[in-house]
A and B are shown apart, each in its own frame.
Chain A
Amino acid sequence: MKENSIPKIEGHATFYAHLKAGRIDKARIIGLDGERFVESIVVGRRYFEAPVITSRICGICPVIHNVTSTKAIEAACGIEVSKQTKELRKLMLCGQMIQSHSLHLYLLALPDFVGASSSFELQKTHPDLFQNAVTLKKYSDLIVQIVGGRAVHPVSNVPGGFKKIPEFSDLKKILNESDRIIEISQKTLALFASFDYPQIERKMIYSALCEDNDYAYYEGIIQTTSGNKFQAKDYHNYVYEELKPYNRAKFATLRGKEMMVGAMARYNLSRNKLNHTLAAYLKTLDISDKEFDNPFNNILAQAIELLHFVYESQRIINGLMRDGLKSEKMVEPKVFRAGVSACEAPRGTLFHSYSLDKDGYITKCDIVTPTVQNLASMETDMKLLAPIIKGMKPAERNALIEMLIRGYDPCITCATH
């Protein structure tokens, strides 16, 4: 089975699955995007240019690349930023999560469940749902716009802090919206909890950033369900990247074992740290407290996170408004050395690593994206569909495989960079 280019995913990719005697013995994801060699492009440039360039890796998740890159450069320059800067970045990341999750849930994933062929068709058949997507997107764009200066490829966040602090009145504008957004996100979660997901189950290693008391996404240490714990700076010893001849993107494994990162991994590892109101709401929806094992549940996990991050954005803004916004001086670099950082992108853990020479020019750069860490498990999961697709027509088979791949929410432009 082959498909030209899977529609409704970020980037261009196709799959190949070989069905033989009721089993899929070969499954491949093939990225079609060209390589841009972003890691080489930043070499020879000054340290502060890295976030500008690396945010252009991806148009759907530029914020997370911008923040992770900024954090890694700060680690390399010995910069410690203020609490206010951290909170503002976290707020921006909430915007990123809501933006990316709502786009994936409504416009890319939902058409599969309600039988619409495109998001435009959804507008005709389910105008109310479509309106939800528009409202959520607007809210998240508003956050990134106000904190970062622009909704796609933000400009204000740089190594050392924020070049411009948002106005108090603008934050109030976000806050005024948030109650309505919580209501919509609750409806969204209820909707996605009501769908029948194709049932496949498997054991998989999940990996995500974790913190002791919070649902981690900005900082923390990486934990896996197989018991590994490591700091971002040690990622080379745990996350191995390899090239496959048929894909321009690399495949990453956890020391040779397949793993899954993303919303479902975060949910599995930190679900007891979700917002309390949300946790109570989950009980009313009959979502069990068990670990998710069905890869299709990644979609449900995204819907849960959507609501969580709306609550989180509300919490951060309330905190910022309580403490007051101060205009701060940028923190200047103390040294130039090497630095690594990890953040949770909508699709999973993202690593940025830089080495700087004594004058602050970049000598080495390495970026490991979440999709790269998911590709191997995606291929394995495709094989699990064999018993379900056995009696299906070719078009239906393709649709189901596409749906599985889409469920992972892959970002091929990120993976190829």
Chain B
Amino acid sequence: MKPYPKKTLGIYSLTCCEGCQFEILKDYDDFSQLLKYYDVRNFRLGQEENLPGPFDVSLVEGTPESKEEYTLLREIRKTSAIVIVIGSCAHLGGIQSERNSLPKKMTLAKDVVSIPEVINTDFIVPGCPISHKELFAFLMDIYWNKVPTLHDLAVCFECRQNENQCLLKEGKPCLGPITRGGCDSICVNGGEACYGCRGATDQADFAKMKEILKPIISDEDSTNMMTIYGDYECEWKRRTDEGK
């Protein structure tokens, strides 16, 4: 039963690895279910005919680099009722945001900015890459006019449910305690540390995290670790400033 007509959807990609778009196409059975509720009007990776907006919902991945991408981004905002940013690049700046701390002479390029710094956005689906299940659940909530919400517990919550050995207890670095869960602790399940691709939880205690990491790795290494997908230390400073 479908009381509402299909909503229109645009899927856009700015500069990035396009892994999130592939994640959308990952499970075609799931994707074709989504097509029952959404009419995909713009998706350059998957189709030849791509229409301009207005759309009910637009998904954007990546960070804007060129002038054209900035223009496109503003255009997307103007023509979409709801803008959802997907993936670490769009959400936090992603791996390329580390470029901002390089000497300017080396790159001659402008700073990388995340999408919420350029336009007003409505929702964020975090992760590098996103989980298509989480995104589709988001889109279904929107279809049924519900407000989607993000998991706001740390990665550690799911990690313990998955019965993983705690890396920090083993004396190995991990950013699980301050990072937003919802990823099913997929990296730690695979033996790797959490590098914080989903950004900080609302209650993240950065000072405590630094303290825990201190006996494990050097200050330089913990800074490196906390700046892979976006700058945790900037976020920490921003939150402290706001708190004042």
> What residues of chain A have their CB less than 8 Å away from a CB belonging to chain B?
5, 7-8, 10-12, 32-38, 40-41, 43-46, 49, 52-53, 56-60, 62, 103, 107, 111, 117-121, 123, 130, 133-134, 137-138, 141, 148-156, 158, 162-164, 413, 416
Find A38's partner among B27, B69, B96 (CB 8 Å cutoff).
B96
> B203: shortest Cβ distance to chain A, in Å?
26
- Which residues of chain A come closer than 8 Å to B191, judged between CB atoms? 149, 155-156, 162-164
Q: Given A36-B15, A156-B191, A413-B16, A56 and B99 touching (CB < 8 A)?
A: no
| Segment at the A interface, from B45-53, B116-124, B144-152 | B45-53
- Which residues of chain A come closer than 8 Å to B18, judged between CB atoms? 10-11, 58-60, 413
Please state if A141 and B26 are interface contacts (CB–CB under 8 Å).
yes
One digit per residue, 1 when the CB lies within 8 angstroms of any chain A CB and 0 when it does not, for chain B 13-54 equals: 111111111110111110010010000100011111110000
Find A59's partner among B15, B17, B48 (CB 8 Å cutoff).
B17
One digit per residue, 1 when the CB lies within 8 angstroms of any chain A CB and 0 when it does not, for chain B 182-209 equals: 0000110111100100000000000000
Please state if A37 and B21 are interface contacts (CB–CB under 8 Å).
no
Please state if B186 and A150 are interface contacts (CB–CB under 8 Å).
yes
Please state if A34 and B19 are interface contacts (CB–CB under 8 Å).
no
> B40: shortest Cβ distance to chain A, in Å?
7
Find A40's partner among B13, B28, B99, B186 (CB 8 Å cutoff).
B99
Please state if B95 and A41 are interface contacts (CB–CB under 8 Å).
yes
> A346: shortest Cβ distance to chain B, in Å?
13
6 contacts between A and B (CB under 8 A): A12-B44, A34-B63, A35-B109, A40-B106, A59-B21, A59-B129
Please state if B192 and A56 are interface contacts (CB–CB under 8 Å).
no
Please state if A156 and B19 are interface contacts (CB–CB under 8 Å).
no
> What residues of chain B have their CB less than 8 Å away from a CB belonging to chain A?
13-23, 25-29, 32, 35, 40, 44-50, 63-66, 68-69, 94-96, 98-99, 102, 106-107, 109, 112, 128-129, 186-187, 189-192, 195, 221, 224-225, 228
A41 to B64, CA, bound (A): 18
Find B192's partner among A5, A107, A149 (CB 8 Å cutoff).
A149
Please state if A56 and B109 are interface contacts (CB–CB under 8 Å).
no
Please state if B190 and A155 are interface contacts (CB–CB under 8 Å).
yes
Find B17's partner among A7, A56, A133, A156 (CB 8 Å cutoff).
A56
- Which residues of chain A come closer than 8 Å to B109, judged between CB atoms? 35, 37
- Which residues of chain A come closer than 8 Å to B225, judged between CB atoms? 49
Please state if B99 and A49 are interface contacts (CB–CB under 8 Å).
no
Please state if B99 and A37 are interface contacts (CB–CB under 8 Å).
yes
A46 to B173, CA, bound (A): 13
Shortest beta-carbon contacts, A-B, top 7: A34-B65, A149-B190, A59-B19, A163-B191, A118-B47, A34-B15, A164-B191
- Which residues of chain B come closer than 8 Å to A57, judged between CB atoms? 17
Please state if B186 and A152 are interface contacts (CB–CB under 8 Å).
no
- Which residues of chain B come closer than 8 Å to A10, judged between CB atoms? 18, 45
Please state if A34 and B69 are interface contacts (CB–CB under 8 Å).
yes
Please state if A33 and B228 are interface contacts (CB–CB under 8 Å).
no
A416 to B68, CA, bound (A): 17
- Which residues of chain B come closer than 8 Å to A162, judged between CB atoms? 191
Cβ-closest chain B residue relative to A416: B15
- Which residues of chain A come closer than 8 Å to B228, judged between CB atoms? 49, 52-53
Cβ-closest chain A residue relative to B64: A34
Please state if A163 and B190 are interface contacts (CB–CB under 8 Å).
yes
- Which residues of chain A come closer than 8 Å to B23, judged between CB atoms? 59, 152
Please state if B47 and A119 are interface contacts (CB–CB under 8 Å).
yes
Please state if A41 and B47 are interface contacts (CB–CB under 8 Å).
no
Cβ-closest chain B residue relative to A41: B98
A53 to B197, CA, bound (A): 11
- Which residues of chain A come closer than 8 Å to B29, judged between CB atoms? 134
- Which residues of chain A come closer than 8 Å to B187, judged between CB atoms? 149-150, 155
A130 to B191, CA, bound (A): 35
Please state if B102 and A413 are interface contacts (CB–CB under 8 Å).
no
A41 to B29, CA, bound (A): 37
Please state if A7 and B22 are interface contacts (CB–CB under 8 Å).
no
> B46: shortest Cβ distance to chain A, in Å?
5
- Which residues of chain B come closer than 8 Å to A103, judged between CB atoms? 22, 25
> A363: shortest Cβ distance to chain B, in Å?
13
A103 to B189, CA, bound (A): 27
Cβ-closest chain B residue relative to A135: B28
> B61: shortest Cβ distance to chain A, in Å?
9
Contacts beyond the supplied A117-B49, A413-B16: 13 A-B pairs with Cβ under 8 Å: A8-B46, A8-B48, A33-B15, A35-B15, A37-B99, A49-B224, A49-B228, A58-B17, A59-B21, A59-B23, A150-B190, A156-B192, A163-B192
